[in-house]
Chains A and B, each alone.
Chain A
Amino acid sequence: AQSVTQLGSHVSVSEGALVLLRCNYSSSVPPYLFWYVQYPNQGLQLLLKYTTGATLVKGINGFEAEFKKSETSFHLTKPSAHMSDAAEYFCAVSVNYGGSQGNLIFGKGTKLSVKP
């Protein structure tokens, strides 16, 4: 069975500082992993995804994540935080083998705050 654990329900960084949001997964099959961002009272927007191939995945808004099979991790990073990055971030794993994004297991989310 698949599961996702996001370490830290709340992360606070200063503007311009490195953003690191942690995600560990458990999957009985090769995982397909996703990071989504959610702004207040809005739906989710896909930041990036890993299916196969290169383990370092680049997404929108300067975010990237690295799939590390040995560590069962898929941490999200951004070199320099902007105020507009303040939001809730969700890590997810696809239940269906094959990368379908519809049936997803989500982590509990990490709220990112950015201080001026």
Chain B
Amino acid sequence: GAVVSQHPSWVICKSGTSVKIECRSLDFQATTMFWYRQFPKQSLMLMATSNEGSKATYEQGVEKDKFLINHASLTLSTLTVTSAHPEDSSFYICSAEVPGYPFLDTEAFFGQGTRLTVV
């Protein structure tokens, strides 16, 4: 299957600083990528949909000015957590969609996730 790589796997940052997380599709071009957040012992919640060359679409309740998403190329989307606070500590996971034909064969591949700890 296709490979999606996230970097870094884990990061610790000080409160008030910004952190950038990269999501790369290694062997395919992804026009659409998705960012999820997972709190401990809870499920994944979709934060935003990232489309190459256009603005990201954020889910209700997600602060777009705090979670900046840039999908500058067909293989890279970045999530920047600005002015991070301890409550932003979480596991962030991206996925990239591989268009299928027929459409029902479309599949999303997930990165390995990034554990962010804000101290």
Nearest CB of B to A87, in Å: 14
Q: Judge whether A104 is part of the interface by a CB distance below 8 angstroms.
A: yes
Q: Which B residues are CB-close (under 8 A) to A77?
A: none
Interface residues in B1-56 by Cβ distance below 8 A to A read 4, 6, 9-10, 32-34, 41-46, 49
Whether a CB of chain B sits under 8 angstroms from the CB of A43 is yes
Determine if B113 and A102 form an interchain contact, defined as CB atoms under 8 angstroms apart: no
Find chain A residues with CB under 8 A from B64 CB. Answer: none
A21: min CB distance to chain B, Å: 14
Q: A90 — which chain B residues lie within 8 A by C-beta?
A: 43-44
Give chain B interface residues in 45-101, CB to chain A under 8 Å. 45-46, 49, 91, 93, 95, 97
How would you classify the secondary structure of chain B's contact residues: helix, strand, loop or mixed?
strand
A102 touches B4 (CB 8 A): no
Bound-state CA distance A46–B110 (Å) is 9
Chain B contact patch, size range: 20 to 34
In the complex where A41-B115, A44-B93, A45-B110 touch, is A99 in contact with B104 (Cβ < 8 A)?
yes
Q: Judging by beta carbons under 8 Å apart, are A100 and B97 in contact?
A: yes
Let me know if B112 and A108 touch, CB within 8 A. Answer: no
Please tell me if the beta carbons of A102 and B108 are within 8 angstroms of each other in the complex. Answer: yes
Q: Is A107 an interface residue (CB 8 A)?
A: yes
A97 to B112, alpha carbons, bound, how many Å? Answer: 27
Q: Nearest B residue to A45 by beta-carbon distance?
A: B110
User: What is the chain A residue whose CB lies nearest that of B103?
Assistant: A98
- Of B4, B43, B46, the residue contacting A43 (CB under 8 A) is B4
Q: Judging by beta carbons under 8 Å apart, are A103 and B106 in contact? A: no
Q: Which of A99, A100, A109 has the most CB of B within 10 A?
A: A100
Residues of A40-87 contacting chain B, CB below 8 A: 41-46, 51-52
Q: List 19 A-B contacts (CB under 8 A).
A: A9-B41, A41-B91, A41-B113, A42-B112, A43-B6, A43-B112, A46-B107, A98-B106, A99-B103, A100-B106, A100-B108, A101-B106, A101-B108, A102-B33, A102-B34, A103-B34, A106-B44, A108-B42, A109-B41
Question: What is the interface of chain B, defined by CB distance below 8 A to chain A?
Answer: 4, 6, 9-10, 32-34, 41-46, 49, 91, 93, 95, 97, 103-108, 110-113, 115
